[in-house]
């Protein structure tokens, strides 16, 4: 008796256009956060930007100044104005020098205008120079909120408590900054910065994630305009809960849309109707994690992920075990599958974002995050509890 050949699974073609459209819509919605970072050469501006935002635009150099004048680096979510600090020996007064740079920025498009300024000073300096004070006053006069960032702080770990502190000289500097007084006249000095943040991008051994960066990120968000806070949450790389807070409403909206699409139960073979909804959800979540997933995956790989997300394979193999599902996909199943898919995709994006998954292998890694039977059942239970 001749054995019949096993039929190959039908290839499900998925249109990737919903992913592309949703990516463009999300980028337009969130916009770009623009930061100005100012300080003398060697203060560690480039290292600070790289530590907080994970960008390698500005070279980290030694010796000659890396930044000349004012330069603008940008991608979809972040713009950095790298402004040269006042150099001793310059014939131009510091405030006038800075004003020229700010005029350059003001002449740029609205999408490049500064929201917050990091004014960087090395922590082992005794006090702000007159040039620093003049430049901070000029920034304040222009209506720009200034965070005074002390860089290259040497943190000292207490062997008993395990807590980190700083050297006495830095403590005294911070005390002076909190109540600045002219040493010659003993009169108070007005230095209109909003806060002082002590930072280091590495430990004393040149390793680790440094200190004070979380506080710097939190203060920057607090000073950001309301319409740019989400852009900053997307651009920064340190606070993952912020990104989850942005992603979960997107998953909820897609879940509702998927349930609506299956309000009239559809055959499992037609489960591809969910693909555009789920691909749009994927795109919006990837944007929140500041990932160019489309550049990481070929069109074919993206389409196959979309086919997996459509629920056809999962539905045909496992969802039939769910009481009431049978051979059709109803609203509850569609919503649960989409919710589970969104959670899996968010976890994958987070793993890529933190460097735990190689972006070059993302097509192969997705299978580890595809929702399984128990994930979908759990989401169905959560939906029923929410309605109760």
Summarize pLDDT for 260-303 with one digit per residue, the tens.
Answer: 887 776 665 556 678 888 889 988 999 999 887 655 555 555 55
What is the torsional sign of CA 67, 39, 237, 78?
Answer: negative
| 276 falls within a domain | yes
124 plus 188 within the same structural domain: yes
Q: Report the alpha-carbon distance of residue 222 to residue 197 in Å, rounded.
A: 13
| 6 falls within a domain | no
pLDDT of residue 249: 97
| 25 falls within a domain | no
- Nearest alpha carbon to residue 315 among 324, 323, 305, 325: 325
Each of the 388 residues of the chain gets a pLDDT tens digit; together they read: 555 554 444 444 566 788 889 989 999 999 999 999 998 878 888 889 989 998 876 554 444 444 457 889 888 899 999 988 766 666 778 888 889 889 989 999 999 999 999 999 998 887 888 889 999 999 999 999 999 999 998 877 766 666 677 788 888 999 999 999 988 888 999 999 999 999 998 755 445 567 899 999 999 999 999 999 999 999 999 999 999 999 999 999 999 998 888 777 666 555 667 888 888 998 899 999 988 765 555 555 555 565 555 454 455 444 554 555 555 667 787 888 889 889 988 998 898 888 888 777 776 777 777 776 567 667 767 776 666 6
| 16 falls within a domain | no
Encoding tokens for residue 31?
């916009």
pLDDT of residue 190: 94
The CATH number of residue 104's host domain is: 3.40.50.300
311 plus 219 within the same structural domain: no
| 26 falls within a domain | no
pLDDT of residue 298: 56
> What residues form DSSP beta bridges with 72?
81
268 plus 287 within the same structural domain: yes
Summarize pLDDT for 201-242 with one digit per residue, the tens.
Answer: 875 544 556 789 999 999 999 999 999 999 999 999 999 999
How deeply is 75 buried, as exposed, middle or buried, from its count of CB atoms within 10 A (0-12, 13-18, 19+)?
middle
214 plus 303 within the same structural domain: no
Which range marks the domain in which residue 339 is found? 239-387
User: Is the overall model pTM greater than 0.95, yes or no?
Assistant: no
């Amino acid at each position: 008796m001749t054995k019949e050949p096993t039929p190959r699974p039908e290839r499900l073609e998925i249109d990737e256009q919903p992913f592309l459209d949703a990516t463009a819509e999300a980028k337009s919605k969130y916009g770009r956060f623009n930061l100005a970072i100012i300080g003398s050469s060697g203060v560690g501006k480039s290292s600070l930007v790289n530590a907080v935002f994970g960008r390698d635009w500005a070279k980290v150099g030694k010796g000659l100044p890396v930044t000349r004048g004012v330069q603008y680096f940008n991608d979809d979510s972040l713009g950095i104005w790298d402004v040269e600090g006042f150099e001793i020996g310059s014939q131009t007064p510091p405030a006038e020098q800075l004003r020229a740079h700010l005029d350059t920025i003001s002449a740029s498009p609205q999408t490049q205008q500064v929201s917050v300024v990091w004014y960087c000073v090395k922590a082992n300096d005794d006090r702000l120079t007159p040039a620093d004070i003049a430049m901070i006053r000029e920034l304040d006069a222009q209506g720009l909120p200034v965070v005074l960032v002390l860089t290259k702080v040497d943190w000292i770990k207490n062997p008993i408590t395990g807590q980190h502190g700083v050297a006495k000289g830095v403590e005294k500097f911070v005390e002076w900054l909190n109540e600045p007084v002219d040493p010659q006249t003993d009169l108070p000095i007005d230095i209109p910065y909003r806060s002082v943040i002590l930072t280091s991008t590495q430990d004393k051994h040149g390793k680790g994630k440094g200190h004070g960066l979380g506080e710097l990120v939190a203060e920057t968000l607090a000073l950001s305009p309301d319409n740019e806070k989400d852009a900053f949450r997307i651009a920064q790389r340190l606070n993952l809960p912020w990104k989850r807070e942005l992603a979960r409403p997107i998953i909820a909206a897609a879940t509702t849309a998927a349930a609506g699409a299956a309000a009239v139960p559809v055959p499992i073979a037609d489960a591809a109707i969910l693909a555009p909804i789920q691909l749009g959800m994927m795109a919006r979540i990837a944007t929140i994690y500041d990932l160019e997933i489309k550049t990481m995956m070929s069109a074919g790989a993206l389409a196959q992920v979309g086919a997996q997300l459509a629920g056809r394979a999962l539905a045909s193999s496992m969802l039939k075990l769910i009481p009431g599902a049978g051979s059709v996909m109803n609203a509850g199943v569609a919503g649960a599958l989409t919710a589970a898919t969104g959670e899996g995709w968010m976890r994958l994006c987070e793993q890529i974002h933190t460097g735990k998954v190689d972006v070059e292998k993302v097509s192969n890694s997705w299978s580890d995050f595809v929702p399984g039977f128990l994930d979908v059942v759990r989401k169905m239970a959560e939906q029923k509890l929410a309605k109760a």
